Chains A and B, each alone.
Chain A
Amino acid sequence: MSVHWLHVSLSWGVSLAVFAGLAWAALARHRAAKRALERLS
């Protein structure tokens, strides 16, 4: 794999990983809040 493809893979890999991480964090936070609200009611 050429250096050019390494840079392309890093750019796409890191960007998609960051978006996936943010989505996972938002989902986990949402589920935790929902569970806590259900427990209280």
Chain B
Amino acid sequence: MDTTPALPRAPGRLHRFANPGRFLRLTDALLPWLAAAALAVLALGTAWALLWAPPDWQQGETVRIMFVHVPMAWLAMGGYLGLALLSVMSLVWRHPLADLAARELSPVGAAVTALCLLTGSLWGKPMWGTWWVWDARLTSVLVLFFLWLGHAALVRAFDDPERGARMGAILALVGVVNLPVVKFSVDWWNTLHQPASVTRLDAPGMHVDMLYPLLVCSIGFSLAFAALVLAGTRAAVMERQLRTRQMAAARRMG
């Protein structure tokens, strides 16, 4: 009698992509287009942000840091939400690709969060007169950075990759509680960091001359982020296939 506990069925569309061969074929066609689109949009966004966008009447040229800092902040939070979704897929449906994608996502997420902190610091020094303050926004983003690093380390810390993936998924889901803290920290507490100026319920508090290049840069960095995670996941799938074939060859020879 089969005593294996029955797993909830994954929705049909998701289950189709659990097939590594299908995933490799699909990404083989998609990845070059995604990378080319990321390069083109990023080139346009970089030129717009550094050459054509006007300087701010108060901040002067320093405002150009915003065009890289804000996309990094959005990617740090949006990427973490993606990690949480992958963790649900991993824990509920034991989706093998979700484990691999989460494993590949966390180093890239940690990198963009580090860039968010670094560019924020480089923006803060000339504007606030300090590199760092322990206010709620900056501190909660630092916690987010440690969550990314913790996930990246945890999933690689076990000899059994499935156990590592489960532990990482639990950590990622616990860490989701930090996302609203990051987002609403500027409203809940008195912070040196300014309140939201684009993602507000009413109209964005920014002139279109700055809003449009910001959106283009955000799309460019998001496409690049997606391409990096997809390329990493693709490499991880191929490495897993390689290990399986090597083990099969070793068994045949032994």
Residues of A within 8 A of B (CB): 2-5, 7-8, 10-12, 14-16, 18-19, 22-23, 26-27, 29-30, 33-34, 36-37, 40-41
A34→B31 CA distance, assembly (Å): 15
Q: How many A-B residue pairs have CB under 8 A?
A: 81
A29→B108 CA distance, assembly (Å): 15
Say yes or no for B219: interface residue by CB 8 A criterion: no
Q: Rank and list the top 6 A-B pairs by shortest CB-CB distance, nearest first.
A: A33-B238, A26-B231, A11-B119, A29-B235, A30-B235, A7-B122
Report A36 CB to chain B, min CB distance, Å. 5
Nearest chain B residue, comparing its CB with the CB of A7: B122
Given contacts A4-B62, A22-B228, A33-B242, A12 and B50 within 8 Å (CB-CB): yes
Q: Please, which residues of chain A bring their CB within 8 A of the CB of B239? A: 29, 33
Say yes or no for B241: interface residue by CB 8 A criterion: yes
Cβ of B249 and Cβ of A40 under 8 Å apart? Answer: yes
Q: How many residues of B contact A (CB 8 A)?
A: 36
Q: Please, which residues of chain A bring their CB within 8 A of the CB of B224? A: 19, 23
Q: Known contacts A5-B61, A33-B235, A36-B242; can you find 17 more A-B pairs with CB under 8 A?
A: A2-B61, A4-B60, A8-B50, A12-B65, A14-B118, A15-B72, A19-B224, A26-B231, A26-B232, A26-B235, A29-B235, A29-B239, A30-B231, A33-B238, A34-B238, A40-B245, A40-B249
Residues of B within 8 A of A (CB): 35, 46, 49-50, 60-62, 64-65, 68-69, 72, 108, 111, 115, 118-119, 122-123, 125-126, 221, 224, 227-228, 231-232, 234-235, 238-239, 241-242, 245-246, 249
Report A14 CB to chain B, min CB distance, Å. 6
